[in-house]
Amino acid sequence: MQATQSPFHLLAKPAGAACNLGCKYCFFLSKENLYAERESPLMDDAVLDAYLRGLVQSSPGAQVNVAWQGGEPMLRGLDFYRRAVGLAEKHRQPHQRILHTMQTNGTLIDDEWAAFFRQHDFLVGLSIDGPREMHDAYRIDKQGAGSFDDVVRGWNLLRRHGVDTNVLCTLHAANQDHPLEVYRFFRDELQARYIQLIPIVERATEQTISFANGGWGGNRGKDRPLYRQEGSLVTDRTVSADAFGRFLVAVFDEWIRRDVGRVFVTTFDVALGSWLGEHTSCVVSPTCGDALAMEHNGDVYSCDHYIEPGYKLGNVKDTPLRALVDSEQQRRFGNAKSDTLPRYCKECPVQFACYGECPRNRFIDTPDGEPGLNYLCAGYKAFFQHIDAPMKAMARLVREGGFAEDIMLEKL
């Protein structure tokens, strides 16, 4: 019965890997290689209907999350989303509420789009990497020009129309050493209240490192190899583990003094969940497998980070979505996170806070030579050890029926 079904999250890519930008670190641009050159990357209405019908029927809770991502999902056009909203309502069961979310680079937002988002209560995540110089280092258009002005214009339109928003900031070589400048830009200049910090880790092999260092965007499409989660090398743009940890520590120290309950940083919210014994993100859970992705043609993959041939589960036009989510292949994928955890991690005092983090980043060796350590381990470990005392205090406040923001009234 539906009540016994486990929850899952599915990212749908209505324009596939197509994007109007050519961000240097965006290896997802290479996923176009999975499909024939003559094939349109735009989701058709048959796939849209199969997706929404399957999602509604498979969702166990009262809220159904319809998540749009890319590439750039706005390339699919406003009329497509008007049809999507209508179809979701058509398939919705009486006890269900539909929440549409979209992750966008923001450059195509105009008043009509912003009004539509507000009318239908979309939650819109906007990708921006900090102040102009840091953002434009890698987030460029096809001709190599920075996208900062267009992104900020889009952000201002969303705010003017009262759209629910959050900021997604990737951490990389260009901004990793400027944590407070980045955080204060979001908090004070953009007045963002919800912030995601995502580390850029671009893996490469001896064969792909030269191309990867040159960037995945621009006009290099015909030469792009398919990005796979393989290799122990990383690009020059990749955030370093130590810098990643320092960035999180610096932002946390600013946040804990004045912004708890006012600014919500996903990394800190997820960490508090770990200190409370709850795992609110697959990244820090003992196992994974409940965050899947669907390409424009209905192909479903085990994870957004594993859109490559070995991780394709099937197609929503041929197989019920719930069957793909519950498949033995997906179960093995999810359990592998725990099954392959090195002994070094199992004996770590902060294992409970990350459980080895995402498998895509587990490609270096432990100090004693065992494979499977997370590339970001040193940074995470320094961060988790640094926040242990305030996290314990906030967890205590929550367990006692108080509020996490009361931590700002205590002396740590």
Query: Are the beta carbons of 195 and 265 closer than 8 angstroms?
Result: yes
Q: Pick the catalytic residue: 299, 304, 326, 388?
A: 304
Exposed, middle or buried, 400 (CB in 10 Å: 0-12/13-18/19+)? exposed
Task: Tell me the average pLDDT across 269-277.
Answer: 97
Residue 286 pLDDT class (50, 70, 90 cuts): very high
Distance between CA atoms of residues 211 and 29, nearest Å: 13
Confidence (pLDDT) at 324:
97
Percent of the chain at pLDDT > 90 equals: 93
Percentage of the chain modeled with pLDDT above 70: 98
Whether residue 172 contacts residue 237, with contact meaning beta carbons closer than 8 Å, is answered with yes
> How far is it, in rounded angstroms, from Cα 368 to Cα 212?
30
Looking at residue 133, its amino acid is E
How confident is the model at residue 101, as a pLDDT? 98
The Cβ-side half-sphere exposure at 28, using a 13 Å CA radius, reads 21
Catalytic: 236?
A: no
* pLDDT per residue as tens digits for the range 91-105: 999 999 999 999 999
Q: State the pLDDT at residue 1.
A: 34
Mean pLDDT over 40-46 rounds to 95
Given pLDDT bands bounded at 50, 70 and 90, which one contains residue 267? Answer: very high
Q: Is 387 helix (H, G, I), strand (E, B) or coil?
A: coil
The residue among 7, 43, 4 whose CA lies nearest residue 289 is 7
Q: How much is the pTM?
A: 0.95
List 314's β-bridge partners, or say none: 300
| The token pair that represents 17 in the structure block | 């890997």
Categorize the per-residue pLDDT at 4 as very low, low, confident or very high, splitting at 50, 70 and 90. Answer: low
